[in-house]
Amino acid sequence: MVHEPSMLPLDALDNLRKGNARALAGERIYGSGIGPERLQELIGGQAPYATILTCADSRVPPEHIFDAGFGDLFVCRNAGNVLDEVTLGSVEYAAAHTGCPLFVVLGHTGCGAVGAAVAVVKNPDAYESHNVDDIIRRLLPAVLSTKPPDLYRDKIDDPAWVDAAAYKNVKNVCNQTTQRSPLLKTLIKKGIFQVVGAFYDLASGQVEFFME
> E strands, the chain, where?
50-55, 73-78, 102-108, 194-200, 207-211
pTM for this structure?
0.91
Give first-to-last CA distance, the chain, whole Å: 26
- pLDDT score, position 149: 81
Confidence at 44, pLDDT banded by 50, 70, 90:
confident
85 located within any domain: yes
Containing structural domain, residue 27: 9-211
2 located within any domain: no
- Is pLDDT above 90 for 203? yes
Look up the CATH number of the domain holding residue 92. 3.40.1050.10
Give 170's DSSP letter: H
Q: Residue 54's beta-bridge partner residues?
A: 77, 106
- pLDDT (tens digit per residue) in 96-145: 999 999 999 999 999 999 999 999 998 888 888 999 999 999 999 999 99
186 located within any domain: yes
23 located within any domain: yes
- Whole-number Cα distances in Å, 188 to 96, 101, 130, 171, 184: 12, 9, 35, 17, 6
**Contact assessment for residue 193 and residue 9, using Cβ atoms and an 8 Å cutoff:** yes
- pLDDT (tens digit per residue) in 153-188: 555 568 999 999 999 999 999 999 999 999 999 999
CA angle centred on 117, ends 116 and 120, rounded to 5°: 90
174 located within any domain: yes
User: Cα–Cα distance between 105 and 94 in angstroms, integer?
Assistant: 14
Domain tally, the chain: 1
4 located within any domain: no
